[in-house]
Structures are given as structure tokens and as C-alpha cells.
């Protein structure tokens, strides 16, 4: 009997092993836009389309340090899942806090003026909605820390989006009645021992959602404190802000499952 060479088999096997590890090329482009008279600059991230047609979009709301490499990396991760992603700018073009003290002051200004915060978020959403390859009926908004607050305020503005995800974001609002305007499904991802978002705030948020008859979910991750998805946050929970690998992975998976639901 003639013996067959195993070379083609080995080549095919190698191909099967290697291909899944390859990453799609990611296109990134800075986008200048305005809210009123304020110049803003966000980041549009996507992979080249594998087929024609429009795709779901994801809007990223940044944490209190402004639009940084962190949001850029998250945008790349989302783009590799097939979404068109826009990381918005709340603070203004070139306005980036130099340290935590400056970040607290800058973020605090917008937390104290929720109307302005919602306007800045709405301006970013408009950029994403107007992308020619985005299905405007399939847009989700996510945010980290201050960005979680921003994402929820955008939902409270009555924004026409499919879903909103807050990662360890502030949950309070000066006007809970605005929740009656929410059209999106809501997913709040929370560190169970987050000292910056205490139990009273969590309970008030739940009451706000129930009273307004919002379609909402709340995931609490045991042992996780504030900033549990942020790789640069250190690993000491006693500081109140720390990265938690388990909570990071679980919350990312929860977000992906949520997207399947809201984009169906």
C-alpha cells in the first residue's frame, strides 16, 4: 500500500492552530467635533469590514483622567469584536488632567453640572450615529468610573440607544425623575466593596430604576473595589481603588452577553 505524506496534514493543522491567534487590523482616527463653542476630540476605532453593510456601534465614556490610552485599548478590544467604536471627549480638546487632584476637580465640575455633562455626551453620541457604516438603531454606551456616571446620565437624557453599561461608575443623580426618560436597557457592573459608591447609593439607584420601570440589571462582584477593570489601578484593595482580574473578566463577559441581547 502506498504511504501518504503527512506534510499536508501538518500544514493544515498548523494553519488551524495559528489563525485563531491572529488579530484583525484595527483602524484608528482622531475626530474633531464640537459641543456649542467647545472643541472636542475623540477617537474612532474599527476593523475593516469583512462584508458590506452597517454594524452596531459602541460609544465609550472616559474615566476622570480624560481620554487616555486606557480607552484606546478598550476601543481596540471592542473593534476586534466587530463593533464601530467612538471614544468621546467630555473635557475638551487638549484638556487632560495632570494628576488625581486635577482629575477630581475637573470631573467634579461636570458632576456638578449634569446638563452640561449630558450635552457633551450627546455630542459624542451624534458623531457615532452619523458614521455611514453604523446602524444607528444598534448603539450601546459604556463608561468607566466617571464615564459610568456619564453613560447613565446620557441614558437619563432620553438618548435613543439600545443599551448602557456602567463599569464601577457613580450611580447617583440629582434628579431621579429623569429616569422616566430612559429608553435603553441598563447594565450596572459594581464592585461589592466599592467605598466610593456606598450601599445607600446602590439602593437609591435600584429604587430609581424600579420607580421609572426601566429594564435594568445589576451585577455585584465580591471583593472588588472601585476601578476594578483598570489595569493601572494597582493591586491593593485597601486603597479603595484597585484592579481585580476576576471582576474585570467577568464584567467584560457580562457586557458581551448584554450586547448580544440589545443588538438582536
Residue 1 pLDDT level (bands cut at 50, 70, 90): very low
| CB neighbourhood size of 77 (10 A) | 14
Q: What is the largest CA-CA distance in the chain?
A: 83
Mean pLDDT of 94-120: 95
Q: From CA 154, how far away is CA 119, in angstroms rounded?
A: 8
Determine the Cα–Cα distance for residues 108 and 102; give it in Å rounded to an integer. 10
The per-residue pLDDT for 23 is: 53
| Region for residue 130 given its phi and psi (left: phi exceeds 0; alpha: psi -120 to 50; beta: otherwise) | alpha
Helix ranges (H only) for 190-244 are 199-211
pLDDT in tens, 127-182: 999 999 999 999 999 999 999 999 999 999 999 999 999 999 999 999 999 999 99
Whole-number Å distance between alpha carbons of 131 and 202 = 35
Mean pLDDT of 217-234: 95
Provide φ and ψ at 154, rounded to 5°. Answer: -65, -40
Q: How far apart are CA 57 and CA 84, in angstroms?
A: 5
Q: What percent of the chain has pLDDT over 90?
A: 86
Judging by DSSP bridges, how do beta strands 134-144 and 163-167 pair with one another?
parallel
For position 182, what pLDDT does the model report? 98
Per-residue pLDDT reduced to its tens digit, 3-42: 444 343 333 333 333 333 345 689 999 999 999 999 999 9
Confidence (pLDDT) at 24: 65
> Where do the H-state alpha helices sit in 96-190?
100-111, 114-129, 146-156
Mean pLDDT, rounded, for 239-257:
97
Per cent of the chain over pLDDT 70 is 91
Q: What is the per-residue pLDDT for 5?
A: 42
Position 14 scores a pLDDT of 35
Amino acid at each position: 500500500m502506498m504511504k501518504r505524506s503527512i506534510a499536508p496534514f501538518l500544514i493544515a493543522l498548523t494553519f488551524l492552530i495559528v489563525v485563531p491567534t491572529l488579530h484583525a487590523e484595527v483602524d484608528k482616527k482622531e475626530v474633531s467635533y464640537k459641543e456649542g463653542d467647545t472643541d472636542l476630540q475623540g477617537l474612532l476605532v474599527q476593523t475593516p469590514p469583512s462584508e458590506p453593510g452597517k454594524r452596531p456601534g459602541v460609544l465609550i465614556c472616559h474615566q476622570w483622567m480624560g481620554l487616555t490610552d486606557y480607552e484606546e485599548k478598550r476601543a481596540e478590544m471592542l473593534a476586534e469584536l466587530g463593533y464601530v467604536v467612538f471614544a468621546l471627549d467630555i473635557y475638551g480638546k487638549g484638556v487632560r488632567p495632570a494628576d488625581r487632584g486635577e482629575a477630581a476637580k475637573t470631573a467634579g465640575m461636570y458632576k456638578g453640572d449634569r446638563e452640561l455633562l449630558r450635552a457633551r455626551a450627546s455630542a459624542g453620541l451624534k458623531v457615532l450615529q452619523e458614521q455611514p457604516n453604523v446602524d444607528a438603531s444598534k448603539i450601546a454606551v459604556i463608561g468607566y468610573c466617571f464615564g459610568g456616571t456619564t453613560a447613565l446620565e446620557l441614558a437619563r437624557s432620553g438618548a435613543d440607544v439600545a443599551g448602557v453599561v456602567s463599569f464601577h461608575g457613580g450611580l447617583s443623580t440629582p434628579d431621579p425623575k429623569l429616569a422616566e426618560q430612559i429608553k435603553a436597557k441598563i447594565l450596572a457592573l459594581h464592585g461589592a466593596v466599592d467605598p466610593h459608591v456606598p450601599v445607600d447609593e446602590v439602593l437609591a439607584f435600584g429604587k430609581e430604576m424600579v420607580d421609572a420601570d426601566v429594564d435594568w440589571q445589576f451585577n455585584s462582584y465580591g471583593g472588588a473595589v472601585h476601578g476594578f477593570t483598570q489595569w493601572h489601578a494597582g493591586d491593593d484593595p485597601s486603597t479603595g481603588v484597585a484592579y481585580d482580574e476576576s471582576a474585570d473578566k467577568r464584567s467584560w463577559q457580562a457586557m458581551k452577553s448584554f450586547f448580544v441581547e440589545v443588538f438582536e
